[in-house]
Structure 1
Amino acid sequence: MVGPIHIVTKALTGGSPWPRRFLAAAAWIIGARIELDGVRPGAHTLLVSNHLSWLDIVVLGGGTGTAFVSKDNLGHGLFHWLADQNGTVYVRREHARGAKDQAVTIARALERDQPVTLFPEGTTGPGTHLLPFRSTLLEAASFAQKDVQVRPVVLDYGAAAAEIGWYKEPGKQNILRILGRKGTLPVTIHLLQPLDRSGDRKALTERARRAIAETLASSHGASPLYPGV
């Protein structure tokens, strides 16, 4: 029922609130109870986020309305269609020589009104610590013909982080495990302040990683989940 309404709304107005509403409803049905901490992202914003699971897309998209940077092969055609409706930007991460072209593609998306989220770890992590951040695609902020804000965003699943993490586990097993989880899942989206963009992309990436790590360490108190902060 939502699909036709979304298509008609998008055709008539050029935009549609239904992808975000769909993702928010899906998050609620799965059990996620989302709390936003910080100012919602506006247009021309590149969000740089930690990445634990496929659930991040549902939670962050439903909570903020962001589009995402994704690998160009999502498998089933239905997944591609759903991703397209939310303005997904596709890149070939394994194509190192095309990194600049990928960054330019993201830059064009940042010129739209919808914020865009990048997961610089490049894959999902275990939930117990951050993986190294890749800096290449953060260059997109410099290529955009708009004044782009780069903001770290922290997905905090609290004590359930390791349970949610999709790491060295078959995708189907992770999906079934999370969908079969009993009870609700509190998750906080910490929307941090824009970063200082002076210096090169590697310095910017390090600022983003440290801001995310510090927020997680603070949230977990004396927990050793995020060592090295």
Structure 2
Amino acid sequence: MTSALPAPGRIAPWGWPLIAVRLSAMLAMLVACTALYYIAAPFASRNPVPRWFLRSIAAIAGVRLSVRGTHPARRTFFLANHVSWIDIPAVAGLTGSAFVAHDGLAQIGPLRWLCGLNDTVFIARHERRSVATQADQVRSALRKASALTIFPEGTTSYGDETLAFKSSLLSALEDDAEAAPIPVQPIWLDYGPESRDIAWVGSEPGLDNAFRILARLRPVELTVHFLPPLGPQDRADRKRMAAAARAAIDAAREDQG
């Protein structure tokens, strides 16, 4: 997606000062946390500063988090639905998770550097020939990270339904003795009745969506549902894992409705 300034009519005049204040606060947080990151780096195998930073970014953006359920261990493989860029700071702030991201983000130098501080794994999802390499990258990241999150839909949705889960990256968990003890846990990211207003979908440029969120006076209500980890029968193969995780999210949505 390309970035462009939002159409003037989409953001109220009072929204621009709010955007400026929030961007200034985010920049100040970035400067402070960058210094803290390099100070902490020699003393921590898993640097806690990216988690603090991303949790702060969510708060500055006006996100009000609620949590349902629990995640069973620090080292967990999360499978989540995907609605907005807010998903990443929210989940990382709660769990300290690293993420698997499309390699298009890696083409933006500052963003690649920032993602790298949180051990982001960049993959070329559009290249079917590299599926085995992608699985190896995920497998390696699981060994290093305390937690890892993927968005198996492969794109964002409006949040009122779950798109089909792609299973290729889940092959990293097949026939891997080291991965066997790692819980595989679905997460339902629930933005409630305003989900369609929050979602970044279609042809909307990313900057437009970010400014729309930052211009809101109302908080962004996000409930993160940590659903029960998949059982052994649902981890028999990658396709079963993908289907079971999607079904768990859909069942949680139906129960909530």
Fold conserved between structures, TM > 0.5: yes
When structure 1 is superposed on structure 2, of 58-67 and 38-47 the one drifting more is: 38-47
Q: Deviations over 1:196-218 (max 9, x none)?
A: 24332111111000101111222
Q: Which ranges of structure 1 fall in alignment gaps of 5 or more residues?
A: 222-229
Q: Is 1:166 paired with 2:200?
A: yes
The 5 Å alignment of 1:190-205 reads: 190-198=225-233, 199-205=236-242
- Given the two structures, how large is their TM-score scaled by the length of structure 2? 0.81
1:17 is matched by which residue type in structure 2? P
The 5 Å alignment of 1:67-216 reads: 67-74=98-105, 75-142=107-174, 144=176, 145-146=178-179, 147-168=181-202, 169-198=204-233, 199-216=236-253
Aligned length: 220
Distance 2:72 2:53 in 1: 19
Higher Rg of the two aligned structures: 2
- Given the two structures, how large is their TM-score scaled by the length of structure 1? 0.90
Q: Which ranges of structure 2 fall in alignment gaps of 5 or more residues?
A: 1-31
Cα distance 1:164–1:143, how it changes in 2: closer, same or farther (>3 A)? farther
Asked if structure 2 preserves the Cα contact closer than 8 Å seen for 1:138 and 1:201, the reply is yes
Distance 2:175 2:43 in 1: 31
- Aligned-residue CA RMSD (Å): 1.6
Q: Deviations over 1:135-181 (max 9, x none)?
A: 11111122542322211011111111111111112222211111112
Cα distance 1:30–1:41, how it changes in 2: closer, same or farther (>3 A)? farther
- Secondary structure in structure 2 of the residue aligned to 1:73: helix
Q: Deviations over 1:100-127 (max 9, x none)?
A: 2211211111113411001000011122
Residue 40 of structure 1 deviates from its aligned partner by 3.1
1:200 is matched by which residue type in structure 2? D
2:81 corresponds to: 50
4+ residue segments displaced more than 3 Å: none
Bigger helix fraction: 2
